[in-house]
């Protein structure tokens, strides 16, 4: 019998907490997901950071008023409503893409069917030839429906359009005209994609007459899976997509951090493992840090920065890495409207779903249960394998074993990828010699790397956070700033070091005005442990611009006690 992921987690020893949360995304390409809202309301304030949700105002408990996200009304889907934003532009572009599903007024609440055999989702790089051929057959039949019956909701394009409709503008929230329905950057990210993958997998099984058919996961968190799975790189295969970054085929190592310019495979792997450790374990103080901010009926679309660590981390990194920079909007996987057109997208998201199952089983000091009826009662619409339009709820997918699948075990080498603790603390007096204090540096336009001294509320290894305040950015620019603490080595490409704190990343986006104002909060408690901070009352902070430092001004910086608001 196949060894399963859950069995490993159950008997694994408790890992130590890491230094901080995941690094933010940045790349010359972007994942675009926007809509022309008419009023120009800022729905794209993309603050991606490492170290806890800042100012989310979310609650893990119940609210007096029931405000779950409602399933979309398919009759109001706008076939001309698909939009995106070009890289480096504030313009919202309407695409000649109809992402609306076939309409029917017949719908029903979905009940999970009983199953006799659990579907085992295997790592893609370990598939046998027979398993790959079976997968190709199912995909070929799904693609055939595009020709024989384009309105069949089981067809390849219809399935791809599901992601487009829920992200790029065709759906408004029921009862809130002009307010997008968005399935990213919040606590419904994981549940919505779990349901999407569930029906996609069942449809493929239906097409080949195999109810036990299981799709593979792209094991990009494992050293042996850190390349595009070979099954997707054969131009003669229905699993192939020509709209991919051609430099990232073959044996190219994935970059989960979304950075560009790093070519050393060893450093890429080390950065990847460090990122996985941070987004799965480190800097997580509550369930929303991993799952994403609360998102309720009538809320504007949450910005990128309020997604959970996994969504903002490795999930987005793969989208950026696979997307084709030759295309205007980085299609296919580099843009949410088109990402479902790449079969690798689903394989990627099976591993994202796997991360959710693993996180739930990892030991933690906080509760991982979101006891909020708005979360559990949020609902979506999908077509099942029998072409029935069904309504599903978040609550019904929280126990994935009841959905009839399990993940084959794969080694979690990132469990031991906490940055190596420095044996000797940095000599602050030597490091700070000749450096200005923060008050003399800010407001700061970081056109080049800059170092300065920041006072601490308490000496030594206190539970503190670094706050960058009033970050004013040009919305049309891709911006990336990396932050280090007491860094004596100045190696900005090495994000696996103890001194790396986190990042501020902004993707180009459209808002009412040309500028946005943000704040960024980065947790320091574990970072202090990793750098073996001495009994000092100040630290040296280094800010390194990666992209367009001249397009951002930081109003101020401070270190606060984490209990402070």
Is 315 catalytic? The answer is yes
Q: Which helix (H) or strand (E) holds 562?
A: none
State the DSSP code for 284.
-
Which of 27, 184, 348, 509 is labelled catalytic? 184
489-494: long-range contacts at Cβ-Cβ below 8 A with a sequence spacing of 24 or more?
Answer: 490/449, 490/542, 492/449, 492/544, 492/546, 493/259, 493/261, 493/262, 493/267, 494/267, 494/270, 494/271
Is 248 catalytic? The answer is no
Is 193 catalytic? The answer is yes
d(CA 543, CA 545): 7
User: Which residue has tokens 């808002």?
Assistant: 511
User: Which residue has tokens 């987005």?
Assistant: 316
User: Rounded to the nearest 10 degrees, what angle do helices 189-207 and 156-165 cross at?
Assistant: 170
Which of 125, 193, 348, 509 is labelled catalytic? 193
Rounded to 10 degrees, what is the CA torsion of 552, 558, 563, 565? -50
Count CA atoms closer than 13 A to 79's CA, side-chain side.
5
Residues 6+ apart with CB under 8 A from 271: 255, 256, 257, 259, 262, 494, 495, 496
Which of 22, 336, 380, 452 is labelled catalytic? 336
Is 62 catalytic? The answer is no
Which of 27, 125, 163, 509 is labelled catalytic? 163
On whether the CB atoms of residues 154 and 145 are closer than 8 A, the answer is: yes
Which of 27, 125, 315, 348 is labelled catalytic? 315
Is 163 catalytic? The answer is yes
Which of 349, 350, 484, 509 is labelled catalytic? 349
Grouping H, G, I as helix, E, B as strand and the rest as coil, residue 231 is helix
Catalytic residues: 163, 184, 193, 315, 319, 336, 349
């Amino acid at each position: 019998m196949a060894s399963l992921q859950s069995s490993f987690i159950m008997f694994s020893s408790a890992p130590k907490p890491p230094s901080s949360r995941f690094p933010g995304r940045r790349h010359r390409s972007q994942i675009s997901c926007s809509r022309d809202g008419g009023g120009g309301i800022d729905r794209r304030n993309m603050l991606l950071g490492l170290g806890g949700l800042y100012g989310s105002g979310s609650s893990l408990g119940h609210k007096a008023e029931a405000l779950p996200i409602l399933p979309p009304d398919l009759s109001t889907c706008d076939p001309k409503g698909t939009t995106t934003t070009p890289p480096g532009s504030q313009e919202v572009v309407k695409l000649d893409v109809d992402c609306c599903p076939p309409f029917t007024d017949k719908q029903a609440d979905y009940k999970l069917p009983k199953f006799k055999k659990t579907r085992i989702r295997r790592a893609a790089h370990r598939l046998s030839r027979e398993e790959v051929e079976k997968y190709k057959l199912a995909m070929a039949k799904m693609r055939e429906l595009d020709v024989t019956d384009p309105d069949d909701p089981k067809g390849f394009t219809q399935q791809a359009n599901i992601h487009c409709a829920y992200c790029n503008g065709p759906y408004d929230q029921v009862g809130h005209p002009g307010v997008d329905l968005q399935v990213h950057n919040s606590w419904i990210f994981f549940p919505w994609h779990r349901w999407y993958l569930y029906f996609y997998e069942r449809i493929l099984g239906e097409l080949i007459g195999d109810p036990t058919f299981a799709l593979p996961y792209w094991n990009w968190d494992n050293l042996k899976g850190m390349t595009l799975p070979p099954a997707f790189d054969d131009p003669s295969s229905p699993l192939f997509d020509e709209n991919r970054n051609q430099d990232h085929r073959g044996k190219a190592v994935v970059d989960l951090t979304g950075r560009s310019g790093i070519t050393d495979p060893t450093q890429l792997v080390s950065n990847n493992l460090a990122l996985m450790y941070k987004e799965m374990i480190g800097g997580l103080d509550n369930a929303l840090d991993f799952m994403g901010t609360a998102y309720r009926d009538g809320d504007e679309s949450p910005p990128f920065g309020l997604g959970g660590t996994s969504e903002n981390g490795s999930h987005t990194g793969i989208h950026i890495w696979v997307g084709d920079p030759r295309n205007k909007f980085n299609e296919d996987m580099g843009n949410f409207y088109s990402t479902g057109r790449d079969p690798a997208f689903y394989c990627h998201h099976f591993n994202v779903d796997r991360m959710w199952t693993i996180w739930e089983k990892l030991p933690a000091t906080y509760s991982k249960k979101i006891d909020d009826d708005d979360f559990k009662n949020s609902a979506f619409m999908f077509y099942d394998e029998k072409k029935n339009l069904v309504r599903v709820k978040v609550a019904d997918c929280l126990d994935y074993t009841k959905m009839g699948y399990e993940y084959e075990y794969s080694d979690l080498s990132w469990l031991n990828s906490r940055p190596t603790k420095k044996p000797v603390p940095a000599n602050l007096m030597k490091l700070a010699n000749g450096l200005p204090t923060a008050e003399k540096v800010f407001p700061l336009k970081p056109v080049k790397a800059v170092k300065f001294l920041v006072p601490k509320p308490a000496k030594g290894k206190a539970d503190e956070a670094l706050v960058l305040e009033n970050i004013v950015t040009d919305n049309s620019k891709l911006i990336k700033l990396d932050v280090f603490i007491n860094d004596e080595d100045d190696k900005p490409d090495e994000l696996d070091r103890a001194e790396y704190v986190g990042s501020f990343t902004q993707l180009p986006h459209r808002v009412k005005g040309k500028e946005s104002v943000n704040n960024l909060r980065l947790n320091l408690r574990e970072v202090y442990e990793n750098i073996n901070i001495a009994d000092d009352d100040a630290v040296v902070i280094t800010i390194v611009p990666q992209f367009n430092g001249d397009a951002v001004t930081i109003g101020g910086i401070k270190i606060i006690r984490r209990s402070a608001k």
